[in-house]
Amino acid sequence: MTAAPGSNPLEARIGNQLEQFRRDGVYKSFNYLESPQAPRVTMEGRGQVIILSSNNYLGLSDDPVVMAAGKAGIDQFGAGTASVRFICGTFTIHRDLEIACARLVGTAASVSFVSCWNANEALPATVLTERDIVLSDQLNHASIIDAMRLAKSITKCETGVFKHGDYADLDAKLAAASGREVKLVVSDGVFSMEGSIVNLPALLAVCRRHGATLWIDDSHATGVLGERGRGTAEHFGLHGQIDIITSTLGKALGGAAGGFLAGSSALCDYVMQRARPQLFTNALPATVAASALAAIEVLEAEPGRVAALRENTAYFRQGLLSLGFRPLPGDTPIVPVILGETAAAIRMSELLLEQGVFVTGFGFPVVPQGQARVRCQISAGHTRADLDQALAAFSRVGRQLALI
């Protein structure tokens, strides 16, 4: 559609598109919260609701120790660096945080970023050249997809996608790329829409066979998988064996914001020297660095939180099965229930919210057409009463929609 005479073409175009989103039923409305992220929150205009859609896996977002550390961080360092780290100094709290991140995930070093999105974007565009290739799992997170696009345009490296979890396909693509100097392979540790875990032993074996470097984005696995919440590698008894890990501080580790890239000392040194999202933007605010560091220390001191998360997940998953739902099978606190069409997922999420349970519905293009779903996420902080109340709401809504 063309713009009305005299109107701004950009405003006209986006206005039309917003109208189309509304007509297609894919326009997102935002729920405002008046309290911290917690198993129960106060939602503006609605009152108390149970949250089953947060990445606050360990219940650390409103943990008193984590919050106090954030306050102490702002008291000691003020609001922020007021420039980029190499120009005007880098706070000691950033170095302490980076040491803790590396210790947690089992690498020699790490570099913090203002988000894991930034960490992902930084890596391939900084370290690859036109002699290299990066291959990505088909279901990897949007930040990895964009990181590949950026790397291709900046470095002229080759990029490719292998079928989800299909390491025969990856094997063939790596064999075809044998002439490439660096072969970088990237996969999510936990796939956020499925809740499934990468088959790390198989993936690592293929990478080792071809001399490829393995990069895992562990954003949904850090604090979640493994006995001590150290992530996908610990889950498989391979702690310390992944070449490069990126992860977020915006989910299990306090949930404020931030991310990190972890690997060898040389890699992290090089990224500090050369990565544009490190060199040309401010560091994490000190309060966020301090609360994330405290979150890691709480996790290290209290592995019982990871066990509680596992127990809560098993309880909720079993509860859904007993009601007659068929959640996607898996062992992570991400429990998706497939409903088919996008409208069905949105309807179910609306009805659940009316029952005081906040679960987001996801449709195309976030998930494949016809596989719209509501995605439940469990926290170590949920009590049995929270989970029972949520299951009762699922039971009522499931019967109302004739799903069970």
Residues noted as catalytic:
192, 220, 251
CB of 178 to ligand PLP, least distance (A): 29
Q: Stretches 10-18, 115-123, 207-215, 326-334: which one binds ligand PLP (CB under 6 A)? A: 115-123
Distance of CA 263 to the CA centre of its chain: 19
Between residues 119 and 391, which has the closer beta carbon with respect to ligand PLP? Answer: 119
Residue 250: what residue type?
G
117 binds ligand PLP (CB under 6 A): yes
CB of 322 to ligand PLP, least distance (A): 29
Does residue 285 have a cis bond before it (omega within 30 degrees)?
A: no
248 binds ligand PLP (CB under 6 A): yes
State which of positions 180-209 bind ligand PLP (CB under 6 A).
188, 192
Among 40, 85, 94, 141, binds ligand PLP (CB under 6 A): 141
Residue 181 vs residues 121, 136, 177: alpha-carbon distances, Å? 21, 17, 9
Strand, coil or helix: what is 30?
coil
Exposure string of 275-311, with b = 16+ CB inside 10 Å and e = fewer, is bebbbeeebbbbbbbbbbbbbbbbbeebeebbebbbe
- Measure the CA–CA gap between 285 and 190, rounded to whole angstroms: 27
CB of 397 to ligand PLP, least distance (A): 26
250 binds ligand PLP (CB under 6 A): yes
Count of C-beta atoms within a 10 Å radius of residue 402: 6
360 binds ligand PLP (CB under 6 A): no
CB of 268 to ligand PLP, least distance (A): 18
**Binding string, residues 36-65; x marks residues near ligand PLP by CB under 6 A:** ------------------------------
Number of residues lying near ligand PLP (CB under 6 A): 14
Between residues 379 and 395, which has the closer beta carbon with respect to ligand PLP? Answer: 379
Question: Token pair of 397, please?
Answer: 């809504």
- Measure the CA–CA gap between 223 and 116, rounded to whole angstroms: 15
Closest CA to 338 of 356, 351, 325: 325
259 binds ligand PLP (CB under 6 A): yes
217 binds ligand PLP (CB under 6 A): yes
Closest CA to 124 of 242, 215, 189, 191: 215
143 binds ligand PLP (CB under 6 A): yes
Question: Token pair of 379, please?
Answer: 């926290």
CB of 218 to ligand PLP, least distance (A): 8
Strand, coil or helix: what is 144?
helix
State which of positions 276-315 bind ligand PLP (CB under 6 A).
none
CB of 135 to ligand PLP, least distance (A): 17
Between residues 107 and 222, which has the closer beta carbon with respect to ligand PLP? Answer: 222
DSSP string, 158-218: EEEEE-TT-HHHHHHHHHHTTT-S-EEEEEESEETTTTEE--HHHHHHHHHHTTPEEEEE-
Between residues 288 and 339, which has the closer beta carbon with respect to ligand PLP? Answer: 288
Q: Which residues make up the interface to ligand PLP (CB under 6 A)? A: 115-117, 120, 141, 143, 188, 192, 217, 219-220, 248, 250, 259
